Amino acid sequence: MRLRLWWWLWLAAAALAQSPAIVATRIYVADPCGKARPTFFVDGTPYNSPVTLLWPEGSKHILSVASQQIAPGIRCTFSNWAGVRQDGEEMVKLDGLTIAVTAHRDVAAFKAVGVLEY
């Protein structure tokens, strides 16, 4: 009986050790366009405000934003995405409006970068 208990405890510990870490990743639109609440997509799901998602480290995801979005009195043109470190600094520019990203503990966020035109 004791051997069986130890066996199950060992299996549970081994399973936990192999589970990927969960990372919180924020997805948002950088200001000044963020104030217009443009729509962006994460894995096909639309959002129009910042969102923090819990992803297994190493998982792959698709981010996309339309090149132009218009709100009353505002037009934003988007050019790229950027990866943001834990300290808030941009770490990498990611060209394209639709990009594939990998969840990683060193990346705190991805932001869509746009230019406010009016």
pTM, rounded to two decimals: 0.81
- Is the residue at 7 inside a domain? no
Distance CA 98, CA 62 (A): 7
Cβ atoms within 10 Å of 109's Cβ, excluding its own? 20
> Residues 30-88: pLDDT tens digits?
998 888 889 999 999 999 999 999 999 999 999 999 999 988 888 999 999 999 999 99
CATH at residue 107: 2.60.40
Cα–Cα distance for residue pair 110/95, rounded to 1 Å: 12
Residue that is written with structure tokens 């199950």 in the block = 8
Lowest mean pLDDT among 1-5, 26-30, 88-92, 96-100: 1-5
Question: Number of structural domains, the chain?
Answer: 1
